[in-house]
């Protein structure tokens, strides 16, 4: 039963936007202090934000709250650079660092971002966020040797992300990852092309099932399957991922997009096309989360355009068990802590003690 305050909020919709922030460091200190102050009183107020993203897996994936950092936006390099000591990652649900691939990748030609400063774009009201990074990374072997050990300095729950262009390599990477330490689960980026026929894994139910099954055969850690939005039947793809052994579904990756500068008559990205993220992706992803949540019996992680606590609440009402914060981190690294604090405020104002069973 929805509380009366919540029903009123659902009728009037969500319109909150994040306020502009002075400097990342100062605002982060203010926000994390606010999170700590509210966390200390949660028990007295009866708030329970905990969630298990792998309830059917013997290892489980229990998070203290549903707010996660999305892959590619963990610090300035995707692997934690710029995360300072006052940013207590243990106060967040989980962190998904940048995706690893079988071999090192240099990524796409510059420019890779549009606009070049998400922060300036947000301050001026330009919410067209495009990127074409190309999965720049050192490769999974170097990543497991040189990158993941450094995450130990932060007390957090980590989810390793990787992608491949063949079913066999998905299995091999899972075998390597299963021997690693410092992370509790795996998220499969299924938006890469299959070398066998050029189609994207996430565009084919068969390839999705095969990729997930190859990973499941080589690890018993919880698996999240991250799906692409631009498919004719997202429910079919999600069901295939679950059939292959996924414990949860992440929705969604970026939407194919482009933008042309009519003054220069050139595309704004070096790769010509890229991925749409940020506010423009949110209504698309919300619809996919809603559809999939009604069709599969595993937790859903909502991703796309979450810039406020009420945006996170939208995803939870649509059927998500957790959310990942992506583009907002590029506006300010404090975003996840601020959004978590705002989500708690929304719960209090709505008369909620937990987030279970809220989907519309």
Active site residues: 192
Tokens of 287: 């619809």
Instruction: Name residues whose C-beta falls within 8 Å of residue 50's C-beta, 6 or more positions apart in sequence.
Output: 62, 63, 64, 65
Provide DSSP, 70-83. Answer: PTT-SSSSSSSTT-
d(CA 48, CA 57): 22
Please tell me the number of Cα atoms within 13 Å of 31 on its side-chain side: 28
| Residues sharing a CB contact under 8 Å with residue 222, sequence separation 6 or more, in sequence order | 53, 54, 57, 59, 60, 61, 184, 185, 186, 247, 248
| Residue 66 in tokens | 């549903």
Strand 300-303 and strand 260-261: pairing? unpaired
Query: What span, in angstroms and rounded, lies between the C-alpha atoms of 330 and 118?
Result: 6
């Amino acid at each position: 039963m929805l509380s009366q305050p919540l029903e009123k909020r659902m009728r009037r919709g969500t319109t909150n936007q994040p306020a502009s922030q002075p400097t990342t460091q100062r605002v982060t200190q203010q926000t994390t202090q606010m999170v700590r102050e509210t966390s200390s009183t949660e028990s007295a107020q009866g708030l329970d934000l905990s969630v298990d993203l792998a309830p059917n897996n013997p290892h489980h994936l229990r998070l203290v709250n549903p707010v996660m950092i999305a892959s590619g936006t963990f610090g300035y390099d995707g692997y934690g650079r710029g995360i300072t000591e006052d940013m207590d990652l243990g106060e967040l649900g989980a962190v998904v660092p940048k995706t690893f691939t079988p071999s090192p990748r240099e990524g796409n030609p510059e420019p890779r971002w549009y606009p070049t400063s998400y922060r300036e774009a947000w301050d001026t009201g330009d919410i067209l966020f495009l990127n074409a990074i190309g999965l720049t990374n050192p490769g999974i072997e170097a990543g497991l040797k040189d990158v993941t050990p450094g995450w130990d300095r932060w007390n957090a729950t980590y989810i390793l992300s990787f992608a491949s262009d063949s079913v066999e390599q998905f299995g091999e990477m899972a075998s390597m990852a299963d021997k690693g330490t410092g992370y509790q689960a795996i998220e499969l980026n299924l938006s890469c092309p299959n070398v066998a026929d050029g189609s994207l894994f996430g565009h084919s139910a068969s390839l999705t099932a095969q990729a997930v099954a190859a990973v499941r055969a080589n690890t018993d850690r919880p698996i999240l399957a991250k799906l692409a939005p631009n498919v004719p039947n997202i429910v079919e793809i999600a069901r295939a991922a679950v059939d292959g052994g996924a414990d949860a579904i992440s929705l969604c990756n970026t939407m194919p997009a482009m933008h042309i500068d009519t003054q220069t008559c050139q595309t704004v990205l070096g790769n010509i096309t890229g991925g749409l993220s940020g506010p423009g992706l949110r209504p698309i992803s919300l619809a996919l989360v809603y559809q999939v949540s009604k069709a599969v019996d595993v937790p859903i992680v909502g991703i796309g355009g979450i810039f406020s606590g009420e945006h996170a609440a939208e995803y939870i009402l649509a059927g998500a068990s957790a959310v990942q914060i992506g583009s907002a981190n590029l506006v300010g690294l404090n975003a996840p802590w601020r959004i978590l604090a705002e989500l708690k405020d929304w719960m209090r104002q709505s008369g909620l003690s937990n987030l279970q069973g809220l989907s519309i």
